[in-house]
Structure 1
């Protein structure tokens, strides 16, 4: 990763035409003699957030055509005026404009004359006395397509912003211009399609000044976003001929974090297809005016209003979150949602049952959600949502259960979170259309299905997390759906059993059981799951054993982590010919003796880390390692505290091995037989003084990655890059890292 460019050798490449520094996230400066690159045409320095300034005399690069980023430094020898003689094209971002002290220098940049520029971004990171004058001086050419102004601290915008002479401008973003009280007349831009206004904290009213002086404001605007406008109080209508429709092409309107905004939104936006209003606590949203909506999201508003008789025949996605009051008429709303595919309701505490409870209609409870007099409506009104595929309920703390009948016929996915009164999903039968169920943080959920029976249907994926009262998926004698492919149960501390028995016609492919402290055993019949590929068991502290018959023969991935009471791995591990990955970490019991039978023969990755009961390495069956002719990756950590040499004499590493990770061996002093390795990592081996074997004078030439992490003081001192006494012996390795694991991970981001 390029951190800084100190050497000038790169600037001796006088014929260089393209220099790409994109995404050099730690680059701070460029060589001072960059101007020597007289033939340079493209200098790509985009996404270099730490770049402090530009090198001097950039004006000498007369052939330069692309320069995405120009940073004005403090007292920089290369002021913004250096851009004047450059014929730039494409995108130009001018950063730290607060460092422009001389307005004349901004004028010398001649931004107006750069006719090939398509995108201009003007950014301030602090304040200065002449910001308004600088902004005026940076007026671009009139064919500009996109304009962004960020961090400007002047009291008002320059008059050129929003001027109709910018007839090709399609995109404008104004961000964090906190002192401006009024928006520029952006409605005058004839081809503006996307407008984003964010963080203009001093704007209180949006009205005539925004629309501008033209007969039809915003004639082709398709997307409008307002965000983080803390003091915005009113959005005034455009006072034009009433026959003229404002925003005639508006397809998307997003308003977020405008807590003071009151009143009503513009009416008659007939083209509006997406409406998202989030965290506008004082706003009343009347959706009656937007009958062509396809997506509606209302979150944290004062009120949602709908007038009877208006139907939303195109609405596909509706999300209602934490809104104080809904006034939605059933006859004109629910039954009009003929294409609704996704419905999400969040934070509606009065919702007791979605559409019925124990065969009785609960009109008083649900009226706060749906509104109006619903006594004349059939009890299964939600069945009218015949296109509904996904239902999400979050924070409906009084929801008790779902009915047995009346489900939307196309419903495929149900997600529930923090519905703390929910005791079971259904009484007897999962609806046949449902393929995915996700339940999270429902503290009183005891079972997925209340009574015993087959969980028939088409369910393919089941996830239950953070449900502290869950004891089992079904009552005594229940069975999983034959179609179920993936099951995840996590953080369910009272779980006693998943199901009594796995049947051989179950199509499970993945099982993940994590943090279920009370689970003592797996269901019988695990060995019969002929399609099972992946089994993960993590932090199940009471798990004692696997069922009779062991593991299914087609298993390819097995991970067991932190199961203190697990007495042993299943017998017959050496017969699992399809197993490619075996990870055993932080487990107790007599795991080592089972592996003495032999490892699965076709392993590609083997991880044995920090067992609770440490034994000599030879007792882990590692003397069979050389038989694993497909093994490519081996992790050994904390297995044998007395180990002095790795590998020990009785253990031969397979020739196929290319990646080795070893750690937590307090007495390890020697390494050997590392031929063919491509990657080596070592940590917490305080007595290890060399990574080169006693009978060898160099590391294998195949090694391309070497990592020495914390806890290896002798190695760190000897091999520290550029400083260690033996650095020359590893300097040929393309990637060497010596330091803390987390620091490397941070650097790689």
Structure 2
């Protein structure tokens, strides 16, 4: 069967609402069994929020849909076909510039969902607004990748509950300043943090703040035993990396740190836990003065340092390191 991928630009302009709704209805996307990818985009230059809800309601696709993208939708609600878990085959969903969106669809009940991409959802506070009543293994059972970009009011994944996303392997969070908690991610392999709060770091690395070292340090990371790639950037308040936290990252292969202007050192004993680390890149950390403990990185093959003006490499810092 021929697979159909459809991209629609919704431009309502000065066309009467009745005609716009009729056109959307006659598109009969619900009857297109071979429709697997649907991307709907609203024209930024036309402001007719009142009919967006009904137009999107009339563009309901067939349940065979595998990928859904919506950009520029302006209502604060989604129609019923999005709020109910009606798409057993949906693998990818992306919501971009839905600036008035207050509640998301019930993403956790989509059995095949693997990738979630949320960007510039200006008023969204929680990804799952209600209580998680399903068994943990039935909640986001297939989710692999999460991308959260520029969501200024996002506070948490789910409100007032501690939950786990057992299958997630990739998480990228950028410029979500109010995001303070995330579910436990025991299978996580790749983590990118940019312009994030200290509270988010505590949540991701799952440590009790009262037991942590200085409040400006990255905490214990025992819940990230499978982490292979860690990229930290633009964390202005970060003074150091937690010694205990580093010791638990035994699977980490790549560590990148950049634009952390207050980070002064790397914990000597903590580096001893990075037994798998192959690549270490540090740049634009103007306060970083010491590399004590580098000798513990016995698997290290690549070391890149750039624009760290206070860096002084002392005799013995590199003892034990060998050229590949």
The answer, yes or no, to whether TM exceeds 0.5 is yes
Q: What whole-Å deviation, never above 9, does each CA across 1:588-617 have from its counterpart, x for those lacking one?
A: xxxxxxxxxxxxxxxxxxxxxxxxxxxxxx
Structure-1 separation of matches of 2:296 and 2:89: 51
Distance 2:317 2:217 in 1: 38
CA contact (8 A) 1:112 1:141 kept: yes
CA shift digits 1:686-723 (9 cap, x unpaired): xxxxxxxxxxxxxxxxxxxxxxxxxxxxxxxxxxxxxx
- The alignment status of 1:393 with 2:282, answered yes or no, reads yes
Query: Residue 306 of structure 1 contacts residue 328 of structure 1 at CA under 8 Å; is this kept in 2?
Result: no
Q: Distance in 1 between matches of 2:107 and 2:278?
A: 40
Q: Does 1:225 align with 2:147?
A: yes
Unpaired stretches in structure 2, ≥5 consecutive residues: 208-214
Q: 2:23: which partner in 1?
A: 105
The alignment's C-alpha RMSD in Å is 3.7
Q: Find the aligned partners of 1:233 and 1:403 in 2 and give their Cα distance.
A: 37
Query: Does 1:91 pair with 2:5?
Result: yes
TM-score of the pair, normalised by structure 1? 0.36
When Rg is computed on C-alpha atoms for both structures, the one with the higher figure is 1
Q: Distance in 2 between matches of 1:151 and 1:426?
A: 57
Match of 1:280 among 185, 192, 196: 196
1:148-297 aligned within 5 A: 148-209=69-130, 216-237=138-159, 246-262=164-180, 264-267=181-184, 269-281=185-197, 283-286=199-202, 287-289=204-206
* Kept after mapping to 2: 8 A contact 1:162/1:187: no
SS at match of 2:57: helix
Aligned-residue offset at 1:434: 3.5
Aligned to 1:736: none
Q: In the TM superposition, what is the alpha-carbon distance from 1:190 to its structure 2 partner?
A: 2.2
Shift of 1:407: 5.7
2:304 is aligned with 1:304: no
Name the residue aligned to 2:210: none
User: Does the 8 Å contact 2:187/2:224 carry over to 1?
Assistant: no
Identify if the C-alpha distance between structure 1 residues 328 and 165 changes in structure 2 by more than 3 Å, giving closer, same or farther: same
SS in 1 for 2:218: strand
Q: 1:320 aligns with which of 232, 236, 239?
A: 232
Q: Distance in 2 between matches of 1:116 and 1:208?
A: 32
The corresponding residue for 1:147 is 68
Give, in whole Å, the separation in 1 of the partners of 2:167 and 2:223.
21
CA distance in 1, matches of 2:318, 2:120: 51
Q: How far does the alpha carbon of each residue in 1:83-108 deviate from its partner, in whole angstroms, 9 at most, with x for none?
A: xxxxxx42011113434641112111
For residues 293 and 283 of structure 2, what CA distance do their matches in structure 1 show?
A: 21
Deviations 1:221-240 (A, max 9, x none): 2222221111223443476x
User: In 1, Cα distance between the equivalents of 2:160 and 2:315?
Assistant: 52
The alpha-carbon deviation at position 117 of structure 1 amounts to: 0.9
Cα offset, 1:255, TM superposition: 2.0
Structure 1 pair 284–122 and aligned structure 2 pair: CA distance change class (3 A): closer
Structure 2 CA distance for partners of 1:218 and 1:326, relative to 1, 3 Å = farther
The alignment status of 1:417 with 2:309, answered yes or no, reads: no
Cα shift at 1:174: 1.0
User: Structure 2 length as normaliser, TM-score?
Assistant: 0.78
Query: Deviation of residue 212 (structure 1)?
Result: 7.6
**Is the CA contact 1:404–1:426 (under 8 Å) kept in the aligned structure 2?**
no
Instruction: Map Cα deviations across residues 487-513 of structure 1 (whole Å, 9 max, x no partner).
Output: xxxxxxxxxxxxxxxxxxxxxxxxxxx
Shift of 1:429: 9.2
Give matches, 1:331-370, under 5 Å.
Answer: 332-349=244-261, 366=265, 370=267
CA-CA distance at 1:204 after TM superposition = 2.7
